[in-house]
């Protein structure tokens, strides 16, 4: 499947029919009673292209598989089935030197500023380690590169020899960015990079990311649940529900005119800054079904206000609708395209 709007370019990352299942541990009584293992279906056939130098936003409720997707791309989880191709080559089974080569190109940044840095290493140790393991620089060049990186992420002079606990949350995330950039990657996976930060600090980090991306020509996967931020930073946005992409398209088009009922509900539920746009009824009722037991047919049908008989039977495929792609049988009518 190819994404119509980007037919011209070849994708940097092509994700095809990606499944990720986590088997839960069976308790002894379950084993004795012969009950089958419970399986968490975190990803259920994700199809997604990431274009060079774009920012692709990924949004969805928590537990719908955003982090799992990010970790599969970064090579932290091995998907159960499906394929991830980077510049045309499958990266699922990479080992040793080739895995390191891939990770040099694709780096990841984490959500939690408090646990994503080794508390016993100074910033310099952390950066030096990455630079030396990958032989990015030699000798005195290493420390010069450390200073360069800290400059790049706007950390003050003298930051290099401090320990993580001496920094604020926003500064720690900058260190995380510097660490990822130390390998001079092409692609950054940012899993909720600013979610844990104070509102007044989020904008600083987002600005930094935007600037770095433009100056270094980076491709960014921006995983977040703050829709306003995702809209602002992304060229394209993918909406994920229960481990599958339900809609993907250019950011402005998707936000101004979502086609999938779930995207519509998600956007409506996000608190807007317009005090006149008040609603009495919630935008979406019900909760995310358990990933242990994904509904058949359209996974959204249990909460969808437009659900029809067909939705309970047949899983809608992700297909071109309007400016992007949508996985809904009735997208044209519902989205008004």
Q: Under DSSP, is residue 47 helix (H, G, I), strand (E, B) or coil?
A: strand
Q: In which residue are the tokens 């030699």 written?
A: 138
Of 139, 200, 215, 309, the one binding other proteins by CB under 8 A: 200
Is 184 among the residues that bind other proteins (CB under 8 A)? no
Is 142 among the residues that bind ligand SF4 (CB under 6 A)? no
Taking Cα atoms as reference points, which of 218, 252, 211 lies closest to residue 13?
A: 218
Q: In which residue are the tokens 């089935």 written?
A: 81
Smallest distance, Å, CB 20 to ligand ADP? Answer: 8
Is 67 among the residues that bind ligand ADP (CB under 6 A)? yes
Smallest distance, Å, CB 279 to ligand ADP? Answer: 25
Of 5, 13, 42, 266, the one binding ligand ADP by CB under 6 A: 42
φ, ψ at 140 (rounded to 5°): -70, -20
For 219, the token pair is 């491709």
Of 41, 67, 103, 116, the one binding Mg ion by CB under 5 A: 67
Taking Cα atoms as reference points, which of 138, 46, 41, 31 lies closest to residue 83?
A: 46
81 Cβ contact list (under 8 Å, min separation 6): 17, 18, 19
Is 241 among the residues that bind ligand SF4 (CB under 6 A)? no
Query: Residue 60: left (phi > 0), alpha (psi -120 to 50), or beta?
Result: left
Of 44, 45, 46, 66, the one binding ligand ADP by CB under 6 A: 66
* Cα distance between residue 1 and residue 84, in whole Å: 13
Binding residues among 139-178 for other proteins as defined by CB under 8 A: 143, 147, 157-158, 160-166, 168-171, 176
Binding at 261: pick from ligand ADP, Mg ion, ligand SF4, none (beta carbon under 5-8 Å per type): ligand SF4
Is 304 among the residues that bind ligand SF4 (CB under 6 A)? yes
Alpha helices in 106-220 (DSSP H): 123-133, 140-152, 169-181, 199-216
Stretch that binds other proteins, among 6-14, 36-44, 70-78, 322-330 (CB under 8 A): 70-78
* Cα distance between residue 282 and residue 272, in whole Å: 13
Residue 29 or 165 having the CB closest to other proteins: 165
Binding at 142: pick from ligand ADP, Mg ion, other proteins, none (beta carbon under 5-8 Å per type): none
Of 45, 79, 164, 316, the one binding ligand SF4 by CB under 6 A: 316
Given a contact cutoff of 8 angstroms between Cβ atoms, the answer to whether 55 and 234 are in contact is: yes
Q: Under DSSP, is residue 209 helix (H, G, I), strand (E, B) or coil?
A: helix
Residue 42 or 47 having the CB closest to other proteins: 42
Taking Cα atoms as reference points, which of 135, 156, 138, 136 lies closest to residue 147?
A: 156
Smallest distance, Å, CB 104 to other proteins? Answer: 7
Binding at 50: pick from other proteins, ligand SF4, Mg ion, none (beta carbon under 5-8 Å per type): none
Contacts with Mg ion, residue ranges (CB under 5 A): 67
């Amino acid at each position: 499947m190819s994404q119509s709007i980007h037919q011209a370019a070849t994708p940097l990352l092509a994700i095809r029919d990606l499944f990720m299942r986590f088997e839960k541990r069976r308790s002894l009584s379950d084993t004795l009673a012969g009950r089958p293992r419970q399986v968490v279906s975190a990803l259920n056939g994700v199809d997604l292209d990431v274009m060079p130098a774009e920012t692709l936003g990924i949004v969805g409720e928590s537990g719908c598989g955003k982090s799992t997707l990010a970790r599969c791309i970064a090579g932290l989880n091995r998907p159960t089935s499906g394929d991830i191709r980077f510049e045309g080559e499958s990266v699922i089974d990479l080992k040793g030197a080739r895995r390191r080569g891939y990770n040099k190109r694709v780096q990841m940044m984490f959500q939690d500023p408090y646990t994503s840095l080794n508390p016993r290493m100074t910033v310099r140790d952390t950066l030096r380690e990455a630079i030396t393991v990958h032989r990015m620089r030699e000798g005195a060049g290493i420390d010069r590169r450390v200073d360069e990186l800290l400059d790049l992420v706007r950390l003050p002079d003298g930051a290099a020899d401090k320990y993580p606990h001496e920094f604020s949350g926003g500064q720690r995330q900058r260190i995380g960015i510097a660490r990822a950039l130390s390998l001079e990657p092409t692609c950054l996976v940012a899993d909720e990079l600013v979610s844990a930060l104070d509102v007044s600090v989020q904008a600083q980090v987002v600005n930094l990311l935007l600037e770095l991306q433009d100056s270094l020509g980076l491709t960014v996967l921006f995983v977040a649940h703050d829709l306003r931020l995702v809209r602002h930073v992304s060229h394209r946005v993918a909406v994920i529900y229960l481990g599958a992409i339900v809609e993907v398209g250019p950011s402005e088009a998707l936000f101004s005119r979502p086609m999938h009922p779930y995207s519509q509900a998600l956007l409506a539920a996000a608190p807007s800054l317009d005090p006149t746009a008040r609603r009495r009824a919630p935008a979406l009722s019900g909760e995310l079904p358990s990933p242990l037991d994904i509904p058949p047919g359209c996974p959204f049908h249990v909460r969808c206000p437009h659900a029809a008989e067909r939705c309970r039977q047949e899983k809608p495929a992700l297909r071109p609708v309007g400016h992007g792609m949508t996985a809904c049988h009735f997208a044209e009518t519902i989205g008004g395209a």
